Every structure is written in C-alpha cells, then in structure tokens.
Amino acid sequence: MANQRLPMREIREVLRLKYVCGLSARQIAQGSSVGRTAVRDYLRRAKKAGVGWPLPEGLSAEKLEALLFPPSLAPPAAERAAPDCEGIYNELRDHKKLNLTLSQLWLEYKDDHPDGYQYTQFCEYYKRWRKKLDYCMRQEHRAGEKLFVDYCDGLSIVNPKTGELIATQLFVAVWGASNFTYAEASLSQTLPCWIGSHVRAFDYFGCVPHAVVPDNLKSGVSKPCFYEPDINPTYAELARHYGTTVLPARPAKPRDKAKVEAGVLVAQRWLLAVLRKEIFHSVAELNAAIRELLNGRLNARLLRKMKRSRRDLFDSLDRPAALPLPERHYEYAEWLKASVNIDYHIEVDSHYYSVPYPLLRERLDVRLTASTVESFLKGERVAAHPRSHAKFGFTTLDEHRPPAHRKHAEWTPSRIVAWAEKTGPCTGALVAAILAAKTFPEHGYRACLGILRLGKRCGDDRLEAACRRALKYKTCSYKSVRAILAAKLDQVVEETAAEQTTLPFHGNIRGGEYYKH
C-alpha cells in the first residue's frame, strides 16, 4: 500500500485528520479508504519533508507531491531509450510464421541499448502501449435507422421417421435504437432461407429500417471488400423492393455489428436455452415455440436499467421513424449468369430458353422466379419466358430465330406428309414411314425432300409407282426409290396373288403325283 500514491486531496485529508482532529493512524484508516500502512507512510514522509498543518498558502498539488515523493537517485526513465512499440507491433504481426516473440525482440533491443529497460519493464512498456490500440467508438443509433442481422447455431429437430437429428440455424435481427429483436430457425444459411427470413422479419416488425447491416455472409455479400463490397444481386433486389439499403459490416470487424452480436447472446439465453429440453419434429414447430417466447419472454420483458421493454422502446423510437412496408408483397427471385450458346439458347436449371439470335455468345443476367425466367443485357430485358421444369427441354420463341431458321421451323412432319400426298397416296405413305422411323422427325426431312424432288425429273406418276414398289418390299428410303427409278422397275407390271391361278412349269417341281407313293 505504501508504494501506491493516492490523489493529493486524500493525502491532504490524512494530514488534516492527524493534525486537526488528533486521530491516530488506526483511526484515520478506519474512517477512510486508506490502509493503515499507507497512512503511516504518508505521515512519515510529511514529517521528513517538514510539512504540517495548515499547509502553506499557494502550495499546489504538484509541489506537495514533489515534497512528499522526491525523485529517487536512480536514472530517470526518460533518460532510457524507449522501446519502439510500433516497430515491435509490426514485427510480431508481419512475422507470425517465424514464431517471433517479445523475448527475442528484447534481446535485439538490449544489443542496441545496453542501458535500456530490463525484460519485465520492456514487456510492461509494450503492453501499456498495445492496450491503447484496443479503443472502440461508442456508436450512436438513430431511431429507425439500422437493423442488424446475423446467424448462430440453433437447436436440432428430430426426423419423426428415422430419429435423425437435423441441425438448424437461428436468424437474429436487432434494431439499433430499441434492441427490439426477431428470431427464427431455418435449415441452412443459403440464399432462399436468408431472403425468406428477412421478408418474415419485416412482416413481424410491420416496417422497414433505412439500412440493413449484415455480416459478410455469402448469401448477402458476393465478394467482401473493406471499401466496396459486392452485394448479392438477389439481396440487392430485396433492398430495392423494400426501399432500404444494405451496409455490410467491414470484414473481421465484429464491432460494426455489436448490436446483433449482443442480440445473438440474448436470443441464445432467452430462447434456445429455454427450449433446449423440448423435442421438435419440424422447423414450423420450433419456430412456433420461438415466436411465443419472442413475444413474451424476450421483447415484453422490462430492461433492468431502463425499466421499459424492448417493444415499448420499439413502438416509441424505431417504428415512427422507420419506412412503411411496400404495398406489393416481395416475390423471391434468384439472379444468375448465363452465356448464350450457338443455338441462341441459355441454360437455366437444366432447361433451355431462347433469346434473340444477335445476342450469340453474350453473357446475360437471368432473373429466375417461381413462374418466370427473364434475361437482361446491361440492365435491359431482352427475353422473358414462363418457367418450365422439364429437364433438358426447349422453350423457343419464333421471333428469336434468324429468318432462315424460321422458314425451316415451318416444315413440320404433317406438312411434309401433306405435301407428299399431292403426288399420290403411296408417296405420302412412304414419307410418313420414313419420318416415323426416325427418333427425331427432323432427321428424315432431307430424305423426304429428296424423294419429292425425284418427281420433278421423272414425273409424279413414276414417283408414285416407285414409292408403291418400295412400300411393297419395305425398302423405305431415298436411295431405294432412286434405284427403282434408275432401273425402271416402277414400269414393270407384276401379277397379283389373285391373278396367279396355276404354278408355272419348272423341271424341279415334283407335282402332286410324287406325294402319293
């Protein structure tokens, strides 16, 4: 105690109690917060310095301190070389992989300054300097301005069929001015859960903050950056819909969102800890229990210092200054990137959608909702389709095709068959058989058109006869019809089974008499 200096006003009080009131050191110690040993030390120093009571006029606190605590004979600290604390800090930070220690840096310091501080004082000097770096600015939260959001680990739900434990995440949102809190459980921190939690939080509050402050979660911030973070496009669209903005916390700066950090601890203590022994079989059951505690135990509880509940503060501070909810409900949409293939289609969720053919090889922004697929180039919409869930199917608009492809697209199987039937029924039947034999009818278009062109050279009658012969012998192909016409087999008259009444004579035919023996 004797080495600890009290403020001069308390030392003055010790002297007054001794010389004016005539108290002993024990009595002075009992009547004040000063220890008996310290009282004796101060009285001894005053007697040695010739200081009594009353104190001389004009004796300042600095002069009294100099009389009672004269400088020692040891070399003053000011004469010693002070450690370069900033250099030490940078050395330790930049050479973490080398396992650099204060002990080694002190040895280097002593090499340069043999009369410098010893190791203990060296470390104490640096630690005092280092503590000054851990300052923090007290944040002032204006009413209705900011909502802080974050995740933490939630309770597990039990699969009723298998008994498997399924982990959940707890979404927490806290207002800056009132500490009014919203929390809900979700199965993951993916983009749909992240956006859905925000929508339900805004509905719970009945209003919208001027700014939302998230962590650098991937669902919220596509690319973290200290100066210009890239906001996830879907998250940015949510902010535009509600008329708010997103201000991500700086990377590795948890104090930027200290409100929600404290809110997470409160939610864990007043929600999760209370429900830890209960068993839930779905996220809906868990959220129903969380909502009940949220409305009663958490937001309606009186704060110890303010004697008001979070809800009262929210209704009087944040709600009047916040933004109103928009009239139109938010529709969830994901934003994707897609490149236009050589067939002027983009692939979205394993389905192919057409875009105007001049956009070949362009990279488009795609907005994907439950019902629509929209494509954008530099912010301008270039195509829109109803969403299809047919895997590897095609959705194509005629106006997106080039002119040559539009003309080709008009050639349907039925149209080609009808065109062939103008030549004759056998020609139509042969063309229909060729198209039916192909996995994709388009693969038979070339052969059918080639057969129809043969009629321009040989005439429709010969072509019809050639097709009749090809159908009879089941050689349905362009090459077969061309060979028949080349060999003039279409002009050969063949007897039908009804016209042929007797067998032709042949030397190898035994006849009916042979089988009677």
User: In the prediction, which pLDDT does 1 show?
Assistant: 41
User: In the prediction, which pLDDT does 73 show?
Assistant: 42
Bridge partners of 368, per DSSP, are 334, 373
By mean pLDDT, which of 15-29, 168-182, 292-306 is the weakest?
15-29
Q: Rounded CA gap, 359 and 194, in Å?
A: 33
Neighbours of 103 (CB within 10 A): 10
Give CB contacts under 8 A, 24+ apart, made by 487-490.
Answer: 490/462, 490/465, 490/466
Q: Rounded CA gap, 355 and 77, in Å?
A: 78
Position 3 confidence tier, pLDDT thresholds 50, 70, 90: very low
CB within 8 Å of 83: residues ≥ 6 apart: 109, 116, 117, 122, 125, 126
User: In the prediction, which pLDDT does 431 show?
Assistant: 92
Cα dihedral: 25, 30, 33, 38 (round 10): 20
CB within 8 Å of 195: residues ≥ 6 apart: 219, 234, 235, 238, 332
Q: Rounded CA gap, 395 and 81, in Å?
A: 79
Q: Which amino acid is at 93?
A: R
pLDDT digits (tens, 9 = 90+) for 6-28: 667 777 777 777 777 778 888 87
Alpha-carbon distances, residue 95 vs 83, 86, 90, 98, 101 (angstroms): 18, 14, 8, 5, 10
What does the domain layout of the chain look like in residue ranges?
Answer: 8-68, 77-131, 146-321, 334-407, 411-491
Bridge partners of 363, per DSSP, are 339
The bridge status of strand 394-395 relative to strand 363-368 is: unpaired
230 within 8 A of 221, measured Cβ to Cβ: yes
pLDDT digits (tens, 9 = 90+) for 112-135: 888 888 888 888 888 888 877 655
Neighbours of 35 (CB within 10 A): 15
Residues in the chain: 517
User: In the prediction, which pLDDT does 14 show?
Assistant: 79
Assign 351 to helix, strand or coil. strand
Closest CA to 64 of 51, 77, 74, 54: 51
Closest CA to 61 of 3, 12, 17: 12
Q: Rounded CA gap, 344 and 409, in Å?
A: 15
Closest CA to 359 of 373, 343, 372: 343
266: number of CA atoms within 13 Å, CB side? 23
Cα dihedral: 251, 252, 256, 259 (round 10): 120
pLDDT digits (tens, 9 = 90+) for 229-254: 678 888 888 999 999 998 887 666 66
Position 222 confidence tier, pLDDT thresholds 50, 70, 90: low
Q: Which amino acid is at 459?
A: G
53 within 8 A of 19, measured Cβ to Cβ: yes
pLDDT digits (tens, 9 = 90+) for 436-464: 888 767 667 778 989 999 988 899 999 99
Q: What is the mean pLDDT of residues 498-508?
A: 54
318 within 8 A of 147, measured Cβ to Cβ: no
CATH architecture label of 146-321:
2-Layer Sandwich (3.30)
In terms of pLDDT, which residue wins out, 204 or 412?
A: 204
Closest CA to 53 of 63, 62, 43, 61: 43
Residue with token string 């830890």:
276
Going by the DSSP 8-state scheme, the letter that residue 249 receives in this structure is P
284 within 8 A of 186, measured Cβ to Cβ: no
What is the DSSP track for 309-323?
BHHHHIIIIIHHHSB
447 within 8 A of 413, measured Cβ to Cβ: no
pLDDT digits (tens, 9 = 90+) for 133-154: 655 545 567 888 889 998 999 9
184 within 8 A of 170, measured Cβ to Cβ: yes
502 pLDDT higher than 60: no
In terms of pLDDT, which residue wins out, 81 or 406?
A: 81
Closest CA to 167 of 251, 254, 286, 52: 286
Q: Mean of the per-residue pLDDT values for the chain?
A: 83
By mean pLDDT, which of 48-57, 81-90, 304-313, 374-383 is the weakest?
48-57
* High-pLDDT (> 90) share of the chain, %: 32
pLDDT digits (tens, 9 = 90+) for 196-213: 999 999 999 999 999 998
Q: Rounded CA gap, 248 and 213, in Å?
A: 5
The bridge status of strand 169-175 relative to strand 165-166 is: unpaired
By mean pLDDT, which of 63-67, 193-197, 352-356 is the weakest?
63-67
Q: Rounded CA gap, 255 and 352, in Å?
A: 46
First to last CA, the chain: 146
CB within 8 Å of 369: residues ≥ 6 apart: 331, 332, 333, 334, 387
Q: Rounded CA gap, 116 and 331, in Å?
A: 69
User: In the prediction, which pLDDT does 512 show?
Assistant: 60
From its phi and psi, is residue 107 left (phi > 0), alpha (psi between -120 and 50) or beta?
A: alpha
Q: What is the mean pLDDT of residues 331-337?
A: 86
433 within 8 A of 476, measured Cβ to Cβ: yes
